[in-house]
Amino acid sequence: MNIRRYVPADLDAVMDLFRESVRRVAIRDYSEAQVQAWAPDVPDRERWAERRASRPTWIAEIDGRLAGFADLEPDGHVDMMYVHPDHQGRGVANALMKTVESEAARLGLGRLYTEASITAKPFFERKGFRVIAPQTVSLRGMDFINYRMEKPLA
């Protein structure tokens, strides 16, 4: 597995992976209507491009193909952590989180925080995050339960 920084040419592959991960993995914990709202058929490409440009994003590759990606906002917010359905449970998210934590340490951040899906909550707990509170968020007309979680950094 290779971890590298995202470049704009990765945009379409990243958007595809996001949709696959939500539709095929998060469907374990959310309804069909919820995953359609979370990862619509036609994503807002410009908004995706802007968001990727506004923060570091890391790509995990296996055999030269995108296997997962994660990001880190300047205040310690981990907005995205998605692994391809065909590469679940092989340490891809572990490797991405290690990279995120190295960057957080380099920046001297005091904590990481995220809004974890039901699907991702056990992963974040394993990585030392604790639940601050469950919450209901609305997206494209659908309500979702997720968990505000944080991890203090040394």
Instruction: Report d(CA 137, CA 113) in Å as an integer.
Output: 16
- By CB under 6 A, residue 21 contacts ligand COA: yes
One of 3, 94, 98, 153 touching ligand COA (CB under 6 A): 94
Q: Is residue 37 close enough to count as binding ligand COA by CB under 6 A?
A: no
Measured CA to CA, the distance from residue 144 to residue 154 in angstroms comes to: 32
Dist CA 115 CA 150 (whole Å): 9
Q: Does 4 bind ligand COA (CB under 6 A)?
A: no
Closest CA to 88 of 62, 53, 50, 127: 62
Does residue number 110 form part of the binding site for ligand COA (CB under 6 A)?
no
Residue 141 found at the interface with ligand COA (CB under 6 A) = no
Among 6, 14, 25, 52, binds ligand COA (CB under 6 A): 25
Total binding residues for ligand COA by CB under 6 A?
A: 20
Residue whose pair of structure tokens reads 């539709």 in the numeric block: 23
The stretch among 32-40, 51-59, 84-92, 104-112 that binds ligand COA (CB under 6 A) is: 84-92
Q: Which of 117, 144, 150, 151 binds ligand COA (CB under 6 A)?
A: 117
The Cα-based distances of 123 to 118, 129, 131, 133 in angstroms read 10, 9, 12, 16
Q: Is 62 exposed, middle or buried (0-12, 13-18, 19+ CB in 10 A)?
A: middle
The residues binding ligand COA (CB under 6 A) are 21, 25-26, 81-83, 88-94, 116-117, 119-120, 122-123, 126
